[in-house]
Amino acid sequence: MKHCSNCQSINIKQMSSFHTRLLLSIYLFLNFYFFTGAIDYGALIALIPFIIPYSHKCSDCNTTFIGMPRINLNNFWVGNIPDIYLLAMSPSILIITLLILNFPNTGLGRIVYLPNMYFLNSMVVLLYLFKFRKRNGTSNYITWVLLLIVTVILSVWFYPQEYGVGILKKIFT
């Protein structure tokens, strides 16, 4: 897709990025692994984000259309809300992965923990994205670091253990 179908312009911007699809695919794969505990054909659900068509927008006539991706290093990061959301969720997903692999004695607590942690961390990130960002769409690095630290602390703090001492005591002793 090199030309706009409406005005034949070559000023076309890809509205969704490969970065978002890659992070979403990793997120789906980890969710499947966390909830089932196995890696089998069901894990192919993680390939769904790569099948969804890409959206494009013509800069001249503002026409939005769907097409194949434009393979370009500039399209790896578009910087839209899904990109920022998934990038902000990445540290907590990584911490949850490390906790599950290193501290597997959760019993049935993991069934309650995972959806609650995804929901809580998502609400923290979305609240920041829609309420506390500056009007011009930029934010400073200190608030981003604080946001990431809060999501990681919440993920570690609420992690369940079936028996023995709590996870915080195991980490800090």
- For 57-109, write each residue's pLDDT tens digit: 777 787 777 766 655 555 555 566 777 777 888 888 888 888 888 888 777 88
Q: What's residue 170's pLDDT?
A: 76
What's the CA gap between 171 and 173, in Å, rounded? Answer: 6
Q: What's residue 76's pLDDT?
A: 56
User: Which residues 6+ apart lie within 8 Å of 45 measured at CB?
Assistant: 28, 29, 32
Residue 132: pLDDT band (50, 70, 90) is low
Exposed, middle or buried by CB within 10 Å (0-12, 13-18, 19+), for 25?
Answer: middle
Higher-pLDDT residue of 56, 152: 152
Q: What's residue 109's pLDDT?
A: 82
Q: Is the pLDDT of residue 167 over 80?
A: no
Q: What's residue 1's pLDDT?
A: 52
Q: Is the pLDDT of residue 34 over 60?
A: yes
Q: Percentage of the chain surpassing pLDDT 70?
A: 84
Q: What is the layout of strands, in order, in the sheet containing 54-58?
A: 12-14, 54-58, 64-67
What's the CA gap between 29 and 47, in Å, rounded? Answer: 9
Q: What average pLDDT does range 138-166 have in this prediction?
A: 81
Q: Long-range contacts: 157-163, Cβ < 8 Å, 24+? A: 158/113, 158/116, 158/117, 158/120, 159/96, 159/99, 159/103, 159/106, 159/113, 160/106, 160/107, 160/109, 160/110, 160/112, 160/113, 161/103, 161/105, 161/106, 161/109, 162/105, 162/106, 162/107, 162/109, 163/105
Q: Please, which residues bridge with residue 57 across strands?
A: 13, 64
| Token pair listed for 87 | 């990038």
